[in-house]
Amino acid sequence: MQLASRFASRSPILRSDHPLSDDQIRAVVPSIFAENPHESRSERYSYIPTASVLTELRGEGFQPFMVCQTRVRHEDRREFTKHMVRLRHASQINGNEANEIILLNSHDGTSSYQMLAGMFRFVCHNGLVCGNTLADVRVHHKGNVAEHVIEGAYEVLHSFEQVQESRDAMRLITLDEGEQELLARSALALKYDAPNKATPVTEAQILMPRRFGDGGSDLWSTFNRIQENLLKGGLNGRSAHGRRQSTRPVQGIDQNLRLNRALWMLAEGMQQLKA
């Protein structure tokens, strides 16, 4: 087991190669086990206990492998703040990649309840989040929550067939150097929100593989290199004023998911252009 480094260094995050127990989760991400909503919530707020949902999902074969929660300035919100759980189903774990359900929730009103489709590369602990055209389930804070959550989980699970089809199609598409550079340039514009401005690093830097075997020219390999380099940071570059700097990892839960999904949609756009 190891602390993940995807978000800010002081963020409470835990990732394991084996299913996490409640005790392990509670020690790092206590907000998952809040027994009631934060005192700031009104009576109209419908409480969805993440711990109960987790119990239901475990009963259906889903197990948590990664948990995290946001940092808070006020200690009284630490046990209620926004959190994320990544779960895998036993039937979906195979080879070098596993499909995941990404669960978001909070008990202080800072986040709605949401489930997304994701994919996990064991080789680099690099979680990919699929675009918002499928596998995006939101559960309202009312009614039979457990039933809706389980239905939503399987809706996400079934959508993985489409995700795998996209992945397999990307592996069959070869990009020339110009196309790889175009994809990288578009990804930099997404990350730095600067389509017409200089960025701290170049297209060549985010196309550079971090390990042997990731240097293929197919769309899937190219996408993975770009995604990992942008999310993990650590690349040497220069600021807008010419100062040397090292790019930072994407720190926040929201920013991580937003960029992940945008990059996935960018890769699918290239796939459609090349089809």
Question: Does residue 211 fall inside a structural domain?
Answer: yes
Count structural domains, the chain: 2
119-123, 164-168, 209-213: range with lowest mean pLDDT: 119-123
For residue 10, give both structure tokens. Answer: 């002081």
Q: For residue 26, what pLDDT is reported?
A: 93
Residues 6+ apart with CB under 8 A from 60: 89, 150, 153, 154
Q: For residue 174, what pLDDT is reported?
A: 96
pLDDT-derived band at 3 (thresholds 50, 70, 90) equals very low
Q: Are residues 104 and 146 part of one domain? A: yes
Q: For residue 123, what pLDDT is reported?
A: 56
Question: Does residue 3 fall inside a structural domain?
Answer: no
Question: Does residue 21 fall inside a structural domain?
Answer: yes
Q: Are residues 202 and 101 part of one domain? A: no
Q: What is the domain extent for residue 53?
A: 13-161
Q: Are residues 255 and 145 part of one domain? A: no
Q: Are residues 149 and 204 part of one domain? A: no
Question: Does residue 35 fall inside a structural domain?
Answer: yes
Distance CA 34, CA 151 (A): 23
Q: For residue 182, what pLDDT is reported?
A: 95
pTM for the full model?
A: 0.70
Question: Does residue 170 fall inside a structural domain?
Answer: no
Q: Are residues 260 and 126 part of one domain? A: no
Question: Does residue 2 fall inside a structural domain?
Answer: no
Question: Does residue 148 fall inside a structural domain?
Answer: yes
Q: Rounded to whole angstroms, what are the CA distances from 189 to 50, 101, 196, 222, 270? A: 36, 28, 8, 16, 15
The closest alpha carbon to 260, from 163, 136, 131, belongs to: 131
Backbone dihedral angles phi then psi of residue 30, each to the nearest 5 degrees: -65, -20
Question: Does residue 138 fall inside a structural domain?
Answer: yes
Looking at residue 61, what DSSP letter applies?
T
